[in-house]
Structure 1
Amino acid sequence: MAAGFKTAEPLEYHRSFLKEKCRPDGRELGEFRTTTLNIGSISTADGSALVKVGNTTVICGIKLELANPTVEAPNKGYIVPNVDLPPLCSSRFRQGPPGEQAQAASQFVADIIESSSVIQTEDLCIERGKLCWVLYCDIVCLDYDGNLLDACVIALLAALKNTRLPEVTINAETGSPEVNLETRTGLRVHSRPVGSSFCVFDDTVLIVDPTAEEEGLSTAHLTVVTDEEERLCSVHKPGGTSLSGEKLQECISRAKTRHKEICKLVDKVTRSVQSEK
């Protein structure tokens, strides 16, 4: 009976739970799903991380390449993020060029990298005007069940902390770079952005960490990104109904708490991996 009601009237089905201050999966309105993290899981990458937020699973692999700096920024390298939503992660995505959601997610991640200064591109310069690093940050969704942006930001942060830059010298005689893969130094992470996503039902009921089904039924969607100094790096709201100042402040407050939880998780996993080496 309940399954039939859910199929025929999904919004009313969810409303029946929201009236009781809970959700169909048993969570409270302000409760995030279980989040797990594994770093260094791609042996062929220069840095990597696998994140699960509930059923949503995202992996980030970082590859390094040498390049020439631009004339406009001779002392800077590059960071190139890309989010991929392949058909294997959900039936809603199709094979072919990146869809609108994948493009929007890639742009969101690029904006967070810039607004949070998580990596300063000056750190990627090897020799001014001649040589720099390019960081290709490929984020692939393996299983999609809502709240993609939070998972992408966690995976990116953890993968950047896992990235090691090889030693590079420029041969004085030939002028060509020589890479020593045996000697690596950690990439300097200047800040730790963490995203927290929310959905609004019927313009009034606020929930955190929405599933794909909840996202589809909500009237508004919001992602708040903060750093370790509790500064706002981004408030991303792609359309939908407006939020009151009180609701927005509630989101920001919850995002600050979530930031502490995720940073503890990242630090714990990072220490565990380092102790194994």
Structure 2
Amino acid sequence: MDLILSESEKRFIVDGVKDNCRVDGRECFDYRCIDVESDVISSCAGSGHIRLGNCEIMVGVKCEFSEPSLDESDVGKLEFFVDVSPNASPLFDRKKDSISNNLIAALSHSITPCIDLHSLCVEKGKYVWTVFIDILVLELGSRPNLLDACAIAVKAALYNTKIPKVTIDCETNEPTVSENEIIRIDVSRVPLFITVTRIGNQYVVDATQEEEASSISSVLFAITPDGEITHMKKVKYGSLCPEPLKDVFHKVKDLAIDMHRNLMNALIEESKVRKSTNKISFLF
């Protein structure tokens, strides 16, 4: 079941959004504090952990040596898997499968074309890397910011993914794994998601559970670091107010560019100052 609010509670939220002042003090296009960590799971080639409001996501990346597909013999593969913890939220217990399928579809459609899959080819027609991206939803506050948080965690995990360099012996035709050399995945084109929720005739980002219960519909955008919208999808059955939506396009582009820049700066800085810390091995 979804969170149920009284009409007076909904009116209070709608009126606040109309005046650009939300219940928690944020303006309409403000995110809550985003805590991101990378390289936190010892058993993975790359990993990321994020907390955004009441939403907590863990991402682990593993790489497997495999044969390429017959129609694309020189490209690697990206595979997404999503698991929603039973303790994530009692409100969405019966919708876990639907949530997982929607996340996989959106992430696969938006992120896979932005990765250079040719860089994952070891030997054309013989060996490629298959990259498995496992997403674990530890806590789920509201659905509108779930995809936003997942995309950030996935990009952080892919950024610090280290794949060993493999060469093919000319005589034996057997692969040899280097112990010192690695290859990295280029995430410079990987998009982030921004989900915009309609409340009254206005739009907000990073909606809370109470705001979601007061909303009419949502629309999500996948936006690259240079502001290109690569994916857009309407969520829920309500209508979208067209006039404010025109301004939303410009706002989400600027917001996404800032988020990309801040995320990459944080990841680069983290990689510079990272010391020997204890990593965890949890469900991956």
TMscore range, shorter length: 0.7 to 0.9
Aligned to 1:193: 191
| Aligned residue runs from structure 1 range 46-65, under 5 A | 46-65=45-64
Partner of 1:151: 149
Structure 2 match to 1:236: 233
Query: 2:281: which partner in 1?
Result: none
Mapped partners of 1:153, 1:8: distance in 2: 28
For the Cα contact (< 8 Å) 1:195–1:255, is it kept in 2?
no
The superposition leaves residues 100-132 of structure 1 with CA deviations (integer Å, 9 ceiling, x where unpaired) of 111111111111114xx3212111111100000
How far off is 1:263 after superposition?
A: 1.7
Instruction: Give 1:258's aligned residue.
Output: 255
Once the two structures are superposed, the pairs formed by residues 198-209 of structure 1 within 5 Å of their partners are 198-202=196-200, 204-209=201-206
What does the per-residue CA deviation read over 1:191-240, in whole Å, with 9 as the maximum and x for residues that have no partner?
Answer: 031111111124x1322111233223311011112112211111111242
* 1:45 aligns to 2:48 (yes or no): no
More displaced 10-residue stretch of structure 1: 144-153 or 171-180 = 171-180
**2:272 corresponds to:** 275
> 2:175 aligns to what?
177
In 2, are the aligned partners of 1:215 and 1:221 still within 8 Å (CA)?
no
**CA offsets per residue over residues 56-115 of structure 1, 9 Å max, x none?**
1112111000000011000111000122211121113449x951111111111111114x
Q: Percent identity?
A: 27
- Amino acid of the structure 2 residue aligned with 1:247: P
Higher RCO structure (Cα 8 Å, ≥6 apart): 2
Matching of residue 84 in structure 1 with residue 83 in structure 2: yes
Which consecutive unaligned segments of at least 5 residues does structure 2 have? 275-284
The AA in structure 2 aligned to 1:160 is L
Amino acid at match of 2:263: V
Amino acid at match of 1:225: A
1:19 to 15, 19, 29: 15
- Length-normalised TM-score, structure 2: 0.86
Residues 69 and 98 of structure 1: is their aligned pair in 2 closer, same or farther, counting only changes over 3 Å? farther
Q: CA deviation at 1:252?
A: 1.8
Equivalents in 1 of 2:263, 2:179: separation in Å? 26
CA distance in 1: counterparts of 2:211 and 2:68, whole angstroms: 44
Aligned partner of 1:127 in structure 2 is 123
Aligned-residue offset at 1:190: 4.3
Q: For the residues of structure 2 that align with 1:215 and 1:182, how far apart are their CA atoms? A: 49
Q: What residue number does 2:159 align with?
A: 161
CA-atom RMSD, angstroms?
2.2
Q: Give CA deviations for 1:136-157 in whole Å, capped at 9, x if unaligned.
A: 0111111111210101111111
Aligned CA distance change for structure 1 residues 188 and 17 (closer, same or farther; 3 Å): closer
- Tell whether the 8 Å contact from 2:219 to 2:235 is kept in structure 1 after alignment: yes
Unaligned runs of 5+ residues in structure 1 are: 1-6
Matching residue's letter, 1:154? I
- 1:104 is matched by which residue type in structure 2? N
Contact 2:84 2:100 in 1 (8 A): yes
Identify which of 245, 257, 272 aligns with 1:248. Answer: 245
1:99 is paired with a residue whose SS is helix
Q: Please give the alpha-carbon distance, in whole angstroms, between the structure 1 residues aligned to 2:4 and 2:168.
A: 67
Give 1:185 deviation, angstroms: 2.3
Q: Structure 1 residues 189 and 8 mapped into 2: Cα distance closer, same or farther (>3 Å)?
A: closer
Judged with a 3 Å threshold, the aligned counterparts in structure 2 of structure 1 residues 227 and 134 are, in CA distance, closer, same or farther, namely: same
Task: Give the Cα separation in 1 of the matches to 2:246 and 2:44.
Answer: 39
| Structure 1 residue 274: Cα displacement | 2.6
Give 3-state SS (helix, strand or coil) of 1:92's partner: helix
